[in-house]
Amino acid sequence: MSDISRDTMLLTTPFHSRVEAMCDLNDWGNWMGYTTPNAYFDVELEYFAVRSTTGVFDLSPMNKYRVTGPDAQRYLDRLITRDVSKIGINRVGYAIWCDDNGQIMDDGTIFRLGEQDYRICSYQRADDWLAWNKLGFDVTIDNESEAVAGLAVQGPTSCTVLTLLGCTDLNQLKPFGIAHYTFEGQPLMVSRTGFTGDLGYEVWVPPETAEALWDQLFELGRDYLIKPIGSYALELARIEAGFLQANVDFMPAEEVVRVGRTRSPFELGLGWLVDFSKPLFNGRSALLKEQANGSRYRFAMLDVEGNKPAEHSFILKGDKQVGTVTSAAWCPTAKANIAYAQIEMPHGAVGDELVAEIYYQRELHWTRLLAPCKVIDAPIFKSPKRWQTPAPPH
């Protein structure tokens, strides 16, 4: 034994003791300064837990900001591009926020917990941005990131497992709904949200009950084939289901150094989240101008021929390079080879036929492949379970 103190670079989440015990592969990554598993036992089987049974993902490192006070709604309406008043109490809204140039800073979810009580859940840290935007508004902003531990509980049997945990009538909860329960004498909040495109929930508890939550979930979920999943499996599920990822599919606007590397909501296929009927919000005038004059890029989902993922590929139209791929995967359930690409206008409309220039290596030998691909109009994986209420039992 030694008494050398161990001040590690990376933090651990409130679930870490349990996560570590199940992480057979000892394959760890760094997410927002936290030690998080890339994979627990087998990426493919973890992915299939989400699609066939229940997969549990520790999302505690997500950034959480509580926004309260008389001006909370007005504040958020200026901050984000969609109409916040349309998010009812105990409802969640997917949202993006832009800088003054109409360029995306981040995407996230807005939880409405009360009349003037909201929580922003974001991938990026937003303390600085939220503070500057507060000027003149009567709101309080608390960084709750460490005060709220979270698990994504996703997959066809997830509703059944959480119901056994005490989440009564959870199957009646509609997509993007919130329900409140008590667990171990502490509040437990469930939202029907997720990043997998399947039936699924996110469960939020104070850190003190995190380990008990994990233990009970896995005990009660055993007969429903519950399994932990790491970030690699989640990545596969989110590409198949059509979700964008900050720092992968777009750069947070304020972190960009080089001119022209930011993207607007229109350029990421998120124009539907921009509500010009609001008189003012960050980026509104720039976005109006873009709407009138046209965008530089178009977000395209590509169905790529063959089975080689078009990772980091250039996209060609004839001989001309017109775009690049940001995310790509062979999608195991949809059985399709999908890529997200940024395509220079006017190319990349639905139905447009392009070519992906794919490079892959086998046994140190590189091969260049020109794979025809087609722009599709919707994510390739569509689970009816995601939208069904009452939620199906499996």
* Binding residues for another protein (CB under 8 A): 24-25, 41-42, 44-45, 48, 51-53, 156-157, 160, 222-225, 306-308, 330, 332-336, 360, 362, 367, 381, 394
Least spacing, CB of residue 241 vs another protein, in Å: 13
Angle between helices 231-241 and 43-52 (to 10 degrees): 50
Identify which of residues 144 and 303 has a Cβ nearer to another protein in the complex.
Answer: 303
Identify which of residues 131 and 350 has a Cβ nearer to another protein in the complex.
Answer: 350
Identify which of residues 137 and 330 has a Cβ nearer to another protein in the complex.
Answer: 330
Evaluate whether 151 touches 214 at the Cβ level (below 8 Å): yes
Q: In 3D, which of 229, 188, 227, 226 has the Cα closest to residue 210?
A: 188
Least spacing, CB of residue 286 vs another protein, in Å: 39
Residues 6+ apart with CB under 8 A from 102: 264, 265, 283, 284, 285, 286, 287, 289, 290
The CA distances from residue 10 to 30, 36, 182, 311, 353, in Å, are 7, 9, 31, 29, 45
Least spacing, CB of residue 78 vs another protein, in Å: 42
Q: For residue 36, what are the β-bridge partners?
A: 29
Least spacing, CB of residue 339 vs another protein, in Å: 15
Identify which of residues 29 and 392 has a Cβ nearer to another protein in the complex.
Answer: 392
Least spacing, CB of residue 184 vs another protein, in Å: 24
Least spacing, CB of residue 352 vs another protein, in Å: 20
Identify which of residues 321 and 367 has a Cβ nearer to another protein in the complex.
Answer: 367
Find how far residue 174's CA is from the centre of its chain. 19
Distance CA 300, CA 304 (A): 12
Identify which of residues 261 and 382 has a Cβ nearer to another protein in the complex.
Answer: 382
Identify which of residues 278 and 394 has a Cβ nearer to another protein in the complex.
Answer: 394
Phi, psi of 319 (to 5 degrees): -95, -5
Least spacing, CB of residue 307 vs another protein, in Å: 5
Least spacing, CB of residue 52 vs another protein, in Å: 4
21 Rama sector, left if φ>0, alpha if ψ -120 to 50, beta otherwise: alpha
Identify which of residues 261 and 335 has a Cβ nearer to another protein in the complex.
Answer: 335
Identify which of residues 253 and 380 has a Cβ nearer to another protein in the complex.
Answer: 380
Least spacing, CB of residue 195 vs another protein, in Å: 19
Distance CA 383, CA 225 (A): 19
Place of tokens 């299939």: 48
